[in-house]
Amino acid sequence: MLRDPTLWLCLLCALVLNPSTAHAERVRDLGAYQGVRSNQLTGYGIVVGLAGTGDDNLEYLTQAMKGVSGRMGLQLPPGVAPGLKNAAAVMITADLPAFAKPGQRLDVTVSTIGKAKSLRGGTLILTPLQGADGQIYAMAQGNLAISGLGVSAKDGSQLTVNVPTVGRIADGASVERAVATGFESADVIRYNLFNADFLTATRVRDAVNRFMPGIATIEDGVTLALTLPKDTNTRASMMAAIEMIEVTPAETAARVIVNSRTGTVVINSAVRLSPAAISQGKLTVRVDENPTISQPAPFSKGQTAVQQNSDISTKEEGGHIVMLKPGASLSKIVDALNLLGVTASDLVAILEALKQAGALKAEMVVI
């Protein structure tokens, strides 16, 4: 195995300058290294300085404000509930990038969790942000930028632009603790595909081993194990070179996606049909009611009566039959369905019928 960083950098340049092959994708677009990912952080805090658009006397906000004032050395007397229209309880969220180090800054999003009407003009009080393990990884504080606007009048009319109850603080959090990724110490670096596919994993392994013989092995349909040197400079250069290798991924499985709420149907290019004939028609029955009023003769002591007069007509549209040859591709399927003039709901019914008939060789996914 070559261990000279200069050679790996030369290889990286060669991969970047190498022209792309047809339908090839870079390894970095097919997956990611295990552990090299962002981590979600959350926190519960208080926004102050609002112009009467806060949460008022909500119990959890009162408790939080007593805790904040207690840290500042101010103890509120028992039974005192401060008016808090100028404060709001909020949830803070942020993403901690891979390799983030203490002192670096993060953007944070602040959202109300109570009855606050707007966070415009507010300031977030110093709030710890925790990870899924309960440890504190960042501290957030700062003035909010709000893109929304809410206005209300005394007669009850309201005007809201965007969402005034959510704001952001650019560089509003400071990283206090780094997350270990295993990049510096792990004997094996694992690369995970975004989508499980044994053929794609095999092609990635073979492509990596062509440039760096013997370093890549397959663990399962998603994961490849890469045996890399412990030296961080060499390891980083090799990982960068691997990301730029181009691989032709396996064709996706035949799949038809149906959105039952919007009527959207998506058919991927892998869908094929066995020989089938499709007939689609639409029968319209129309009933027109034309009642007439029957008046009695003068001085006959009769009563006015309504005489029903109904007209029934039928109209049948379509009725065409389309024959699909074996292995019909996506373009042929679309042409045939367009010839029938089917709607979205009709298309779903036709695809389900083809699936039940065994002519559609694809997975039907209804979302």
pLDDT digits (tens, 9 = 90+) for 228-280: 888 888 888 888 899 999 998 888 877 778 776 776 777 777 777 776 666 65
- Is the model more confident about 240 or about 83? 240
Q: Cα separation of 186 and 211, whole Å?
A: 22
The angle subtended at Cα 167 by Cα 161 and Cα 173, nearest 5°, is: 170
Domain end, chosen from 129, 147, 175, is at 175
Nearest CA to 256 out of 118, 360, 107 is that of 360
Burial level of 73, CB count in 10 A (0-12/13-18/19+)? exposed
Assign 63 a pLDDT band (cuts: 50, 70, 90): low
Phi and psi at residue 68, to the nearest 5° = -65, -45
Query: How many residues can be counted in the chain?
Result: 367
Q: Cα separation of 243 and 367, whole Å?
A: 33
Contacts 24+ apart (CB under 8 A), 128-134: 128/43, 129/41, 129/42, 129/43, 129/92, 129/94, 129/173, 130/41, 130/42, 130/43, 131/39, 131/40, 131/41, 131/96, 131/179, 132/39, 132/40
Same structural domain, 48 and 155:
yes
Q: What is the average pLDDT across 358-364?
A: 75
Same structural domain, 32 and 43:
no
Q: What is the average pLDDT across 294-301?
A: 70
pLDDT digits (tens, 9 = 90+) for 1-44: 444 544 444 444 444 444 434 468 898 899 988 888 889 999 98
- Put simply, whether the predicted model's pTM sits higher than 0.75 gets the answer no
Is residue 300 included in any domain, yes or no?
no
Is pLDDT at 100 greater than 50 in this prediction? Answer: yes
Domain end, chosen from 158, 175, 192, is at 175
Q: Cα separation of 215 and 11, whole Å?
A: 15
Is pLDDT at 175 greater than 70 in this prediction? Answer: yes
Summary mean pLDDT of the chain: 76
Is residue 68 included in any domain, yes or no?
yes
Is residue 301 included in any domain, yes or no?
no
Same structural domain, 268 and 355:
yes
Q: Name the packing angle between helices 344-357 and 330-340 (round to 10°).
A: 120
Domain range for 282 is 255-293+307-366
Q: What pLDDT was estimated at residue 94?
A: 94
Same structural domain, 115 and 158:
yes
Q: What pLDDT was estimated at residue 202?
A: 92
Q: What pLDDT was estimated at residue 11?
A: 42
Nearest CA to 283 out of 249, 311, 230, 319 is that of 319
Assign 367 a pLDDT band (cuts: 50, 70, 90): confident
Q: What pLDDT was estimated at residue 83?
A: 57
Is pLDDT at 88 greater than 80 in this prediction? Answer: yes
Q: Cα separation of 54 and 47, whole Å?
A: 9
Is residue 302 included in any domain, yes or no?
no
Q: What pLDDT was estimated at residue 325?
A: 58
- Is the model more confident about 39 or about 183? 39
Q: What is the CA radius of gyration of the chain?
A: 33
- Is the model more confident about 75 or about 320? 75
Q: What is the average pLDDT across 88-97?
A: 91
Same structural domain, 194 and 233:
yes
Q: What is the average pLDDT across 155-178?
A: 80
Phi and psi at residue 344, to the nearest 5° = -65, -45
Domain end, chosen from 122, 149, 175, is at 175
Phi and psi at residue 137, to the nearest 5° = -115, -15
Q: What is the average pLDDT across 330-351?
A: 66
Same structural domain, 280 and 322:
yes
Same structural domain, 62 and 144:
yes
Same structural domain, 187 and 204:
yes
Write a three-state SS string for the chain. Answer: CCCCHHHHHHHHHHHHHCCCCCCCEEHHHCEEECCCCCEEEEEEEEEECCCCCCCCCCHHHHHHHHHHHHHCCCCCCCCCCCCCCCEEEEEEEEEECCCCCCCCEEEEEEEECCCCCCCCCCEEEEEEEECCCCCEEEEEEEECECCCEEEECCCCCEEEECCCCEEEEEEEEEECCCCCCCCCCCCEEEEEECCCCHHHHHHHHHHHHHHCCCCEEECCCCEEEEECCCCHHHHHHHHHHHHCCEECCCCCCCEEEECCCCCCEEECCCCCECCEEEEEEEEEEEEEECCEEECCCCCCCCCCEEECCEEEEEEEEEEEEEEECCCECHHHHHHHHHHHCCCHHHHHHHHHHHHHHCCECCEEEEC
Same structural domain, 108 and 225:
no
How many Å is the maximal CA-CA distance in the chain? 119
Assign 221 a pLDDT band (cuts: 50, 70, 90): confident
pLDDT digits (tens, 9 = 90+) for 117-162: 888 888 998 889 999 888 999 999 999 988 765 555 555 555 566 6
Same structural domain, 44 and 171:
yes
Least confident of 218-232, 262-276, 313-327: 313-327
What is the number of structural domains in the chain?
3
pLDDT digits (tens, 9 = 90+) for 282-297: 544 455 556 677 777 7
